[in-house]
Chain A
Amino acid sequence: MADRARRGAPKTADRLGTMLVAVPYLVQHPGSVLAEVAGLFGVAPEQLRRDLDLLFMSGLPPYGPGDLIDVDVDEDDRIWITMADHFARPLRLTRSEALALYVRGAELVATPGLPQAPDLAGALDKLRATLGPETLDAEGLIEFTRGGVAPEHLDLLREAARTHHRVEIEYFAASSGAWSTRTIEPEEVFPSLGNWYVAAWDRGADAERLFRADRVRSAVDTGERFEPRGLAGAGRDLYTPGQDDVPVRLRLHAGARWIAEYYSTVDAVEVEHGSLEVTLPARRLEWIAKLLLRVGPDAEVIDPDALRDELRALAERTMARYRD
């Protein structure tokens, strides 16, 4: 009922919201270009134009010609607003708006190696100081670490992704436990769960690969340009499925359930006693064997049999290291 009554309303509310923030911006930035302002505030240019027309008819009592806001959109689509002193500054932030912005900012400031982090940290401090505890009571409420150590070659990789330059890297692949030299076409460098990743095309493998920036031992910009293929970046699955993947079915008991949180798994089924069965697609069995060595009796291999053999052999080789 309430929903139905409000159905038409959000649109007016959204438009009002845009006006209450865009008008102060336009007063402070005379001659701004309509399309740019629309982009900045996330509205359609035509909507903004229509609403500026309405603004032109509003004002203050007694609403005579001299009391109305004067809006002029000239032939170059530049906007000039006068007689809008009461809208020269925007509305305060609500508590939930301030909190939302602070929380997003905190996530980013806590990501080591983010170039904007120092500016963002400064901005959050100012925001908190100015808005005061009645709007943003973040002291002791939201804790995050600042900075941290960024991977050594992060800047070079990021710059190469921006300029579409091929990079030659020395990379340690945890899946094979070996170093290799590769030429990659980095398309996006992004953080996920505390690590930085490079979404790239691997020229040698002729396939899409995801690289962890902290496992790049050396990186050289080749200066060669490449044409981006639009590989998925931030927000993507951290595992790139390939044709040769082996589906590994595991039963994870309580102490190994973290594997399902940490790695990309599919077909998860809760089974008795808090255990979980998952399929972990793997390009190679070696690294899964190492993972299983770590969790020991907390995980069982359901499939394939070859993984059990691999695990036993790895345990044997590792044991030999302790017999010297």
Chain B
Amino acid sequence: MAGNDRMEPLERLLNLVGLLLETKTPLTFEQIRETLEPYRQEKVDSAKRMFERDKDLLRDFGVPLQLVDIDPWGGEQGYLIPKDAYYLPEIAFTPEELGALLVAAQGGDENTAAERAVHKLLYGADGGVLAGLAGGPLASGSDARSGLVLAVAAAAQRRRRISFGYRTSQGKASDRAVDAFAMVFRGGHWYLVGHDRDRDDVRAFRLSRFTSDPEDRGEGSASPEGFRAADHVQAGPWDARAEEQAVIAFSPEVAWWAAGSLTGATTIGTRADGWVEVSVPLADEQALAGLVLQFGDEAVVREPASLREAIVGRLEAIRG
């Protein structure tokens, strides 16, 4: 730093934050200029520009730098940073909780915002947090870019209308305009639930099927009374809330994991030939027929008859 008598921007900014945090009364730009040397060294115009840039930078960063009336008559305004708006409230995390947050924040592919968040929480950490980090970052197994997840979540949080390219599971591509309500995470997938403007209905959109980044289209709308986002995300054909049950027999080879892989399945018993009979909730006959068929000749539907017929019909079509 030899020969450098100009204050570094970082030092100037730190001093500005300190000054506006500690001041008892709002300070006008002129008062700030008198107090902080770097603004004094410049011509008024350029000092003012420098101050404006600093102000923007601090606000971008989330510093609640406010311009308020100095006196009750509103004659003059000054700057300050209210302490209660600036300082993070006390949060009594356990070292384990803080360690878990730190690990979570490090795992995404575009994780700077989450990391910045957790850095702010670290100050109250016990030393144990550092030791708990040996495990390294965690992948969550989500199939959507975290940048996209964040952009859509932010839109839902601010109740915005967004438009985006979307391809349905059936392969139909179109542009959608949606009032974003909420996000649901299920089975490794993120879904946006919102009001589809063109279809005039609440729909769920899997984020991995977005074909473009969302664009902001202005103010959205409020979710309807009693809205629950998870209700709009389709459960699988093995929907555990279904009332009807199907009985499926699995060969001894596949029974162990077949029963475990079908949500809501309960084992009825093992037959003399070793095949295992399992009861499975039946919500969507065609979908369950597909699931059973994927076990090939290692699975047979016992009942209902309609499901057996559906499977036989599909097999006949394949045999040709």
For the complex of A and B, the 10 pairs showing the least CB-CB separation, nearest first, are A234-B139, A274-B171, A193-B188, A107-B140, A100-B113, A97-B117, A123-B97, A191-B141, A94-B62, A254-B170
Are B187 and A193 in contact, CB atoms less than 8 angstroms apart?
Answer: yes
Measured CB to CB, the closest approach of chain A to B267, in angstroms, equals 15
User: Closest A-chain residue to B91, C-beta based?
Assistant: A130
Please tell me if A21 contacts chain B, counting CB pairs below 8 Å: yes
Say yes or no for B266: interface residue by CB 8 A criterion: no
**With a CB–CB cut-off of 8 A, which chain A residues contact B104?**
101, 104-105, 108, 116, 120
Given contacts A101-B105, A123-B100, contact A177 B296 (CB under 8 A): yes
Which B residues touch A73, using CB under 8 A?
A: none
A274 and B294 contact, CB distance less than 8 A: no
* Interface residue range, chain B: 35 or more
Say yes or no: A142 contacts B118, CB within 8 Å.
no
Quick one: CB contact mask for B62-95 with A, threshold 8 Å, 1 for yes?
1110000000000000000000011111111110
Complexed CA–CA distance, A22 and B125 (Å): 12
A104-B107, A123-B101 in contact; A291/B294 too (CB < 8 A)?
Answer: yes
Interchain CA distance A95-B159 in the complex, whole Å: 14
> Which residues 128-156 of A have a CB within 8 angstroms of B?
130-131, 137, 140-145
| B320 contacts A312, C-beta separation under 8 Å | yes
Interface string of B123-139 (1 = CB under 8 A from A): 11101001000000011
Chain B residues closer than 8 Å to A191, beta-carbon distance: 139-141, 188
In the complex with contacts A97-B114, A97-B120, A17-B186 CB distance below 8 A: no
Within 8 Å of chain B (Cβ to Cβ): is A207?
no
* Nearest CB on B from A288, distance (A): 11
Judge whether B96 and A119 touch: CB under 8 Å.
Answer: yes
- Contact flag A296-B62 (CB < 8 Å), given A99-B154, A320-B297: no
Closest residue to A276 on the B side, CB-wise?
Answer: B171
User: What are 15 A-B residue pairs whose CB atoms fall within 8 Å in the complex?
Assistant: A19-B14, A20-B61, A40-B130, A86-B17, A119-B94, A130-B91, A141-B156, A143-B182, A172-B253, A193-B141, A290-B293, A290-B295, A293-B315, A296-B317, A319-B315
Interface of A is mostly: helix
Asked if residues A312 and B318 are in contact (CB atoms below 8 Å), the reply is yes
| Interface residue B242 (Cβ < 8 Å from any Cβ of A) | no
Q: Determine the chain B residues whose CB is within 8 A of the CB of A177 once the complex forms.
A: 253-254, 296, 298
A60 vs B188: C-alpha distance when bound (angstroms): 50
**Other 6 A-B pairs with CB < 8 A, given A257-B169, A295-B290:** A9-B53, A16-B58, A89-B123, A91-B61, A92-B64, A293-B318
B113 touches A97 (CB 8 A): yes
- Tell me whether B97 and A55 are in contact (CB under 8 A): no
* B10 and A19 contacting across the interface, CB-CB below 8 Å: yes
Asked whether, in the complex, the Cβ of A58 is within 8 Å of the Cβ of B18, the reply is yes
| 0/1 string, A254-278, CB within 8 A of B gives 1 | 1101100100000000000011100
Bitwise interface map of A from 279 to 299 toward B, beta carbon under 8 Å scored 1, else 0: 000000000011111111100
Within 8 Å of chain B (Cβ to Cβ): is A163? no
List the interface of chain A (C-beta within 8 A of B).
9, 12-13, 15-22, 24-25, 27-29, 36, 40-42, 51, 54-55, 57-61, 63, 86-87, 89-101, 103-108, 110-111, 114, 116-117, 119-120, 122-123, 126-127, 130-131, 137, 140-145, 172, 177-179, 190-195, 214-215, 217, 233-235, 253-255, 257-258, 261, 274-276, 289-297, 311-312, 314-322
Task: Give A98's nearest chain B residue, CB to CB.
Answer: B117
Which one of B19, B94, B122, B172 has the highest number of Cβ atoms from chain A below 10 Å of its Cβ? B122
Residues from chain A with Cβ under 8 Å of B319 in the complex: 312, 315-316, 319
A291 to B124, CA, bound (A): 53
* Dominant secondary structure at the B interface: helix
Instruction: Kindly identify which residue among A63, A101, A217 contacts B256, using a CB–CB cutoff of 8 Å.
Output: A217
Q: What 1/0 mask marks residues of chain B from 193 to 223 whose CB sits below 8 Å from any chain A CB?
A: 0000000000000001100000000000001
A323 to chain B minimum Cβ distance, whole angstroms, is 9
Is the pair B186, A145 in contact by a Cβ cutoff of 8 Å? yes
**Chain B interface residues toward A at CB < 8 A:** 7-11, 13-15, 17-19, 21-22, 35, 53, 57-58, 60-64, 85-94, 96-101, 103-105, 107-108, 111, 113-125, 127, 130, 138-143, 146, 149-150, 153-154, 156-157, 169-173, 182-190, 208-209, 223, 227-230, 253-254, 256-257, 260-261, 290-291, 293-298, 300, 308, 311-312, 314-320
Residue of B149, B156, B228, B315 with most chain A CB atoms under a 10 A cut-off: B315
**Is A144's CB under 8 angstroms from B296's CB?**
no
Task: From B188, B230, B317, give the contact of A143 (CB < 8 A).
Answer: B230
In angstroms, Cα B291 to Cα A294, docked, is 6
B97, A258: Cβ atoms closer than 8 Å: no
Q: Are B18 and A86 in contact (CB under 8 A)?
A: yes
Contact between chains at B63 and A91 (CB < 8 Å): yes
User: Which residues of A lie under 8 Å from residue B294 when comparing CB positions?
Assistant: 290-291, 293-294
> Given the complex, which residues of B lie within 8 Å of A55, measured CB to CB?
11, 14
Which residues on B sit within 8 Å (CB–CB) of A215? 257
Pairwise interchain contact A25-B114, C-beta atoms closer than 8 A: no
Interchain CB contact under 8 A, B18 and A60: yes
Closest to B89 in A: A130
Note all chain A residues with C-beta closer than 8 A to B290.
294-296
Residues in chain B near residue A100, CB distance under 8 A: 105, 108, 111, 113-114, 117, 146, 150
Collect the chain B residues with CB atoms within 8 Å of residue A126's CB. 91-93, 97
List the B residue with the shortest CB-CB distance to A8.
Answer: B9
Query: B112's closest neighbor in chain A, by CB?
Result: A100
Q: Across the two chains, which residue of chain B brings its CB closest to A10? A: B57
